[in-house]
Structure 1
């Protein structure tokens, strides 16, 4: 029987079973391979691909003005005054350069060694992938005194017939070019001979992206601001048509902003003629071009004299039409232009009192690299080429404990660092150690003690730095481009840092003597604090329960073997513990009571934390260590749930617990393992035919709404509404149903979307410095919103 089944399977699996996806169809079938996900992250990734193409033009010295327009219909438009996508015919494919760039994977000028020397996108898939994942994409190119236009539906070229050219829509009738047949660019207008540029407008395809995918305006602004720092002199403007913003800027000023970017319409332009191909039920109608009905798509593009014909004028649109924005006010417009480069970037990132001014390391060197180059015969050949490596680093120290280091290759962020960061940090550490050893007596450093050695963490405390390099064809570790892998960059960055930073930190460079002294004093202070903390920790470990073989006696643990689903409830008070014991499922739910408010670890030293009974118990029970030694894989529980009373004291206890997790067990929050239980405030007992049934509410506002709803429905209830003052007042079955049973409870997951903002706000709200906290409360008093606080 088994042999017969195997033979049938072999006969069924043949070459006919294989599916070959060609061109952009493969992108639509497996979008995650190209943009990571089809949620919000992928939606933003598409925008980065288009913006980066314009930024690459700026890096090549061909563009100084980029505009990103968020249209009210949900489409996004990116305009630049770069060289414009080539419009001539690519000899191998017989297609125009525009069609090659937007429909062919791994095609573009970045594979050669002449058109671009430092770019962010290297794989030649960006524009074509965005095209494939868009329900509609329009492109206009200004070159040679003319404006060329082309349109696509889900990656396929053709022509849209919009009822209103000023309001293009992906639902308009679409005539698709016959498969395998090149689509000639249409000439839709004239521009001054020296004007060049590209405008791409696309509508993300709802068939591809999840319904939960949302566009993040703040991510866009952060990315644009970052890029403006990294490319000095590049102006980037973001226009958001969704939000009206009144102000002093007049309509004439917006027309001035638009000058040089929008398409200039002839004065005798006529309205769009009614399309002969109608849409079906408002949806896009795809019509295959068979070559007989409209041969104009197959003809050569008309010359400049023919561009004034009514047919061409009917196709003309103004991509950047700032003049048509709201007449009474104007849409939100944010403009970014920085001339100081990474120096301005470090100044922007710096928080706190500066210890030094901004130090600047810059220069250029060459290296040799073996690469594959396309030869005259069209084949790839290995050859050694000379590369240039531009280094641009800015740094300063501030009075803080955290470090902020941003690294980039060209304009691509490398959050994982790489060779450029390694070269910088190695050289800086080497130079600091050398200076400290040379001035040991003055700095009060005992060189005989092996522990009193400057470590990288001592140097990084309070360091704000931006490390950038510009190289051609960088090698990244993986498609995500998190880490630079080009090994030749490391010695170049290291040598420049040795030379220039060495003069600064020794005070040999004019004007740096006092700054260097302050920096060295801070670094040595950090070293002494680290050494003392280590000694205190070792002593404490020998004396407290953290190294005990047994768990705290007050822990009510769950059954072993359920680590993948185990839950640790940190319970406020012994009275609540008794109820929780009866309400829990002991197979996977553990209970650890805490007495009152734990230590505020933001204000405490390491020795105080490890000596605190409550903090020590939590660290011990979680079982994954703390601080730099925390290993989340060793955690004994999948969820850590804070279960406190639904009052102000309970909220304060949660904040203190979160401070402990954030400072010493941060991966628990970063990876989504910390939760807050949501116990109810009220219980409504129903009467009449619903007697014996109960409703729970979680706020006074919800209670009022629920009671009003019951009255409207004519449902009777007991007027004596039970108000829980604490968890201990609840019966076990009530606590289980509302707060502990996974089938009926509600949990609030604690997330940390913005680590940088969290690093700033925790010291502000929980630290020793009172005046900034008071000022924060005063500044935000008018913006009070109950939905923003945990009550």
Structure 2
């Protein structure tokens, strides 16, 4: 024990100044890259590309350059070109280095800290280009400026020269900015080509073309008139996309909307100023708190549709803030205030009723953009805006502008405003009804189990992971299924025929429908926005209906109910459809390896089985064609459809929410024309001999 204590004391004495590691310049970036780009996987790789693209876009925002070109090379390089002013090539007096070398080698250096070069930018920390340089095995920058082309090369942030192309070419440290050619005097621009350093990034990290195109499209919407070209030269088939929009965020909001409109796209715009205290260098080089007058520019596009989902995209100086921030908080608060005050002057709300933020935002598509100098972001990845005064100013502008729309007397706008307020009030009432329904339908304790529907044949187990709820068609099938089931973990709920089509019906009508209400009550997790997957009473919900057109219709109606009001069950993969057999072969003299009964589940499988048995000389009685589950005895139903060891289940999955919503609306919604067109089109593709009549 004494020797152990003595060794600890020895180790503590060895902690001297000589043991401290001082990371200078870009060494800190290479040592801790995640501090600057978030991660070293694909997200970090994409973040580096955004930093270079944002520099070019900031030039366009400042009024210089209308084109940005991005090239993903087949050799692993990434190139970003613009026709803006070009990075300064003259000597920066404090460091004695050229402007290009300062930008690409010094952290927190650039033209975006004061108000002289840029008014509002996305890249403001001054670490973007230098961090990308530090994390690149090679970076080449060329600048057209003053009638000449200037070039500088770097290897992992160190200036030098390469003898050849690519990151593996021989490298000599110590290079500086040099003139390599002449251009027309009025021609300016910057070209950055770099190879990400595979010593830093994970081996499977790669540039996502889909994300790059989405970001390019988004930026082109936000900067009307800017053209962004994306070339992907990787692979055997190069691709090229050009993004150029003139409609701005109005066109962006229309692009993001997928439901029928309740309102046109409305623009909420305004300017205001605020005072911000920031540390600034004085003449003696000391940091002094200084009050700076800032200007805030707000431009928001909003549009409400008939749907229920909310889509809000927020940006600060065209940089996306996916996690929101003070500008989004201000928007939501201003929107809520505008609705609350405008509804007070109408008779739409009854006594005791109120609207909350979620009611106001149901069916909303919004693009929120604010511009201000030197915004405060939470972290280098700029996902959250933190400038405090922005929330108050945005709320004031939104409330004023949107209240004017809601209380307008213009004949063209007044019906639209009225319809929108009615939608918000209905959303409020639906929310209250759903909350009450959820409270009433919580999973019951053993003493309260009698409140569950009497027709439910519940299971004994309370282990949600193992329990199954079969929703069966009709009382006749219920009787057979009740004998066939394993009552330890399998529950049965019969429904009478076809339930309500909830895609057409309101929430109130759905709750009044006995079959729908019973299903929601038995599942026990509520419905709609109040649905809580953790409260579901069963691990699996299985639709068990006849294998005919009526059975298919019933399964579709049940799928519609779960997708619209209990969607988390579907998304979690806990909703299934049983697959009962269509035919049964009874072998008269079964040979070894064959059971007495063989079941087939499709006409094609039936044909194959019949041919195989005939070819092998195995005789069988006339195959039985099942028209419904009621034709099976309990043993057959258990063996083919309910026993987990032998049955087949078809899981309902949702890979694309928007596509699924479109299909449900087309097949089950109120609009008849698209459904008729779909049916007529499908009729021409249907072979007449497939009709089971």
2:36 maps to 1:44: no
TM-score of the aligned structures, taking structure 2 as reference length: 0.74
Deviation at 1:630, TM superposition (A): 3.9
TM-score of the aligned structures, taking structure 1 as reference length: 0.66
Question: 1:489 maps to which residue?
Answer: 390
Question: 2:271 maps to which residue?
Answer: 364
Distance 1:597 1:392, change over 3 A: same
Equivalence map 1:9-48=2 (5 Å): 9=8, 11-12=10-11, 14-15=14-15, 22-48=24-50
Match of 1:421 among 328, 339, 357: 328
Deviation at 1:368, TM superposition (A): 0.7
Question: 1:602 maps to which residue?
Answer: 503
The 3-state SS of whatever aligns with 1:61 is: coil
Deviation at 1:383, TM superposition (A): 0.9
Deviation at 1:774, TM superposition (A): 5.6
Deviation at 1:389, TM superposition (A): 0.7
Question: 1:516 maps to which residue?
Answer: 414
Match of 2:171 among 171, 175, 181: 175
Deviation at 1:385, TM superposition (A): 0.1
Question: 2:299 maps to which residue?
Answer: 392
2:219 maps to 1:230: no
2:348 maps to 1:445: yes
Give the Cα–Cα distance (whole angstroms) in 1 for the partners of residues 435 and 285 of structure 2: 65
Match of 2:280 among 360, 373, 379: 373
2:370 maps to 1:469: yes
2:195 maps to 1:203: yes
The 3-state SS of whatever aligns with 2:412 is: helix
Deviation at 1:633, TM superposition (A): 6.3
The 3-state SS of whatever aligns with 2:233 is: strand
Deviation at 1:434, TM superposition (A): 3.9
**Residue segments in structure 2 that go unaligned for 5+ positions in a row:** 473-477, 582-592, 595-599, 606-615, 620-625, 630-635, 686-693
Aligned pair count? Answer: 642
Conserved 8 A contact 2:569-2:575: no
Give the Cα–Cα distance (whole angstroms) in 2 for the partners of residues 781 and 123 of structure 1: 61
Give the Cα–Cα distance (whole angstroms) in 2 for the partners of residues 220 and 191 of structure 1: 31
Give the Cα–Cα distance (whole angstroms) in 2 for the partners of residues 592 and 26 of structure 1: 63
Conserved 8 A contact 2:310-2:362: yes
Deviation at 1:212, TM superposition (A): 4.4
2:671 maps to 1:769: yes
The 3-state SS of whatever aligns with 2:122 is: coil
Q: Deviations over 1:524-569 (max 9, x none)?
A: 2541464267458747965x68666448864547666xx8xx4665
Equivalence map 1:281-296=2 (5 Å): none
Give the Cα–Cα distance (whole angstroms) in 2 for the partners of residues 766 and 10 of structure 1: 77
Match of 1:54 among 56, 61, 67: 56
The 3-state SS of whatever aligns with 1:514 is: coil
Equivalence map 1:126-205=2 (5 Å): 126-162=128-164, 168-170=165-167, 172-177=168-173, 183-205=175-197
Match of 2:251 among 341, 344, 350: 344
Give the Cα–Cα distance (whole angstroms) in 2 for the partners of residues 674 and 96 of structure 1: 62
Deviation at 1:79, TM superposition (A): 0.9
RMSD: 5.2
Question: 2:588 maps to which residue?
Answer: none
Give the Cα–Cα distance (whole angstroms) in 2 for the partners of residues 57 and 594 of structure 1: 66
Conserved 8 A contact 1:568-1:592: no
Deviation at 1:105, TM superposition (A): 3.4
Give the Cα–Cα distance (whole angstroms) in 1 for the partners of residues 548 and 291 of structure 2: 68
Deviation at 1:729, TM superposition (A): 6.6
Q: Deviations over 1:233-290 (max 9, x none)?
A: 2221222334888xxxxxxxxxxxxxxxxxxxxxxxxxxxxxxxxxxxxxxxxxxxxx
Question: 2:7 maps to which residue?
Answer: 8
Q: Deviations over 1:304-357 (max 9, x none)?
A: xxxxxxxxxxxxxxxxxxxxxxxxxxx543222223322232333344444444
Q: Deviations over 1:706-735 (max 9, x none)?
A: xxxxxxxxxxx9999xxxx99967689994
Question: 1:317 maps to which residue?
Answer: none
Deviation at 1:411, TM superposition (A): 0.7
Conserved 8 A contact 2:641-2:648: no
2:127 maps to 1:125: yes
Distance 1:414 1:539, change over 3 A: closer
Greater CA drift, 184-193 or 731-740: 731-740
Give the Cα–Cα distance (whole angstroms) in 1 for the partners of residues 6 and 576 of structure 2: 57
Deviation at 1:7, TM superposition (A): 4.5
Conserved 8 A contact 1:360-1:392: yes
Give the Cα–Cα distance (whole angstroms) in 2 for the partners of residues 132 and 236 of structure 1: 26
Distance 1:680 1:157, change over 3 A: farther
Equivalence map 1:746-785=2 (5 Å): 762-764=664-666, 766-773=668-675
Conserved 8 A contact 2:485-2:642: no
Conserved 8 A contact 1:405-1:467: yes
Conserved 8 A contact 1:112-1:373: no
